Amino acid sequence: MRVLAALSGGVDSAIAAARAVDAGHDVVGVHMALSRTRDQFRNGSRGCCSIEDAGDARRAADVLGIPYYVWDLSEQFEQTVVTDFLAEYEAGRTPNPCVRCNEHIKFAALLDKAVALGFDAVCTGHYARIEVGPDGTRALHRARDAAKDQSYVLAVMGPERLARSMFPLGDVASKDETRAEAAARGLAVSAKPDSYDICFVADGDTQGFLRDRLGSREGDVVDTEGEVVGRHDGAYAYTVGQRRGLALGRPAPDGRPRYVLAVEPVRNRVVVGSREELAVGVVEADRAVWFVAPGADADAGAGAGAGAASGATPWSCTVQVRAHGTPVPATAVAGPDGTLRVEVDAAAGLHGVAPGQSVVLYDGTRVLGQATV
């Protein structure tokens, strides 16, 4: 197959491309330039898409002996990821930019361009597995290494895009194995730090980034009785479940920590309370994307993607609401127009679910579908 390997400049994408070459595919490497004002160097393990990263990607391609190109996708990234990120926070929601990037950049803009150029698939360094059933159905599963699993942020891609994707690192036992393989292949990125946090907030200061873009908007932090217990510089900078950085002027009556319970952008207020008040029994979501027809047995095959028909049959599964969150048992029912209702097992408990987050449904290791809270 003709395979386009997305080379970020890190060790994961380099080894994914190397394995695609070893498998006998005709591989071409491409680095996505996503930032309009890229820094010369990364800030340690924070950020990505620097000029340094582009250089590392080129050197990896040279070692692998594959052609290498840089594609400027910065305009699409700014419009679909950064602008959405700002708008979601301003509206009091908590977006996941990695989900948005996978949906609109890596498995939309990149994949669409690759297909238009005659490539059969896109290869990335994501830690997730693709299993092919006897009937040819492709299923998305968690990676073997649970600590590195990225199936949560990939769940938005849907079955059509999964059909043209390759994740060669899905069966890797640990990141140490990836680094050891890179060193053995003579790849200089073998010891390069992983990139954490939000790629376009290289210094890790998300609140500062939001304040720079949206401006300071002072307001009250209140308890559930409406009593003012602190002040903030912008309600948009807070998220449900947050504990740190509240700078409250008055402790709770019982002396226990307080958490953000709600963000009210119209009133410019942040509501705080106890951890117990963060408990969630039901999650309502929409814009569902399905890998398996809603309500069907996971062994029955793939669904029809985002347009799959609703299923009134309750669906036993586990759900996850954060990239590295703990999955909890639940019962899900798909509604009309891509809606989803999830009832969480009371004994398991789920806390601090924020509007804008992704809720991903699993059957064991298999991804069933995804929707936005």
**Type of residue numbered 69:** Y
- Partner residues linked to 331 by β-bridges: 316, 343
Residue 317 annotated to the active site: no
- Contact 122/6 with Cβ under 8 angstroms? yes
C-alpha 133: how far from chain center? 26
- How would you write 122-167 as a 3-class SS string? EECCCCEEEEECCCCCEEEEECCCCCCCCHHHHHHHHHHHHCCEEC
Distance, in Å, from the CA atom of 114 to the CA atom of 126, rounded to the nearest integer, reads: 18
Q: What SS3 class is residue 22?
A: helix
Burial 155-177 (b: 16+ CB within 10 A, else e): bbbbbebbebbbbbbbebeebee
Residue 98 annotated to the active site: no
Please state, in angstroms and as integers, the Cα–Cα distance from residue 255 to each residue in 114, 174, 250, 314, following that order: 57, 42, 10, 41
- Contact 363/298 with Cβ under 8 angstroms? yes
Measured in degrees and rounded to the nearest 5, phi and psi for residue 333 equal -135, 125
Q: Of these residues, 48, 98, 101, 317, which one is catalytic?
A: 101
- Contact 140/367 with Cβ under 8 angstroms? yes
- Partner residues linked to 228 by β-bridges: 222
Q: Please, how many CA atoms are within 13 Å of residue 340, restricted to the half-sphere of its CB?
A: 30
Place of tokens 């999955």: 327
Q: Of these residues, 48, 98, 199, 317, which one is catalytic?
A: 199
Active-site residue set:
101, 199
